[in-house]
């Protein structure tokens, strides 16, 4: 399992940002500048950290860091 803090650290690292500036409510695109490639890289790092493989994560409705984290947790639960 990965905590929200660990996830935010991965997001910050992939985007070249300071994790202290991120909150669960930070908007992935508008606040953090994440594009679809950045999302793929974030998920790849999470997969590596957890030694899991996500089959098909749909991030079309993901807006915030919390949305992305919760989407990932939903996939892990299946």
Q: Mind telling me the catalytic residues?
A: 35
Q: Which residues, listed in sequence order, are joined to residue 64 by a DSSP beta bridge? A: 27
> Taking the CB of residue 57, how many other CB atoms lie within 10 A of it?
16
**Residue pointed to by tokens 């939903």:** 74
Interaxial angle between packed helices 65-77 and 4-15, expressed in degrees from 0 to 180 and rounded to the nearest 10 = 120
């Amino acid at each position: 399992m990965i905590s929200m803090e660990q996830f935010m650290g991965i997001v910050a690292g992939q985007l070249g940002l300071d994790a202290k500036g991120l909150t669960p409510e930070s908007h992935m695109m508008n606040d953090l500048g994440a594009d679809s490639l950045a999302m793929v890289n974030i998920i790849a790092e999470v997969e590596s950290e957890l030694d899991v493989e996500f089959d098909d994560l749909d991030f079309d409705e993901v807006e915030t860091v919390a949305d992305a984290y919760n989407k990932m947790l939903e996939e892990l639960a299946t």
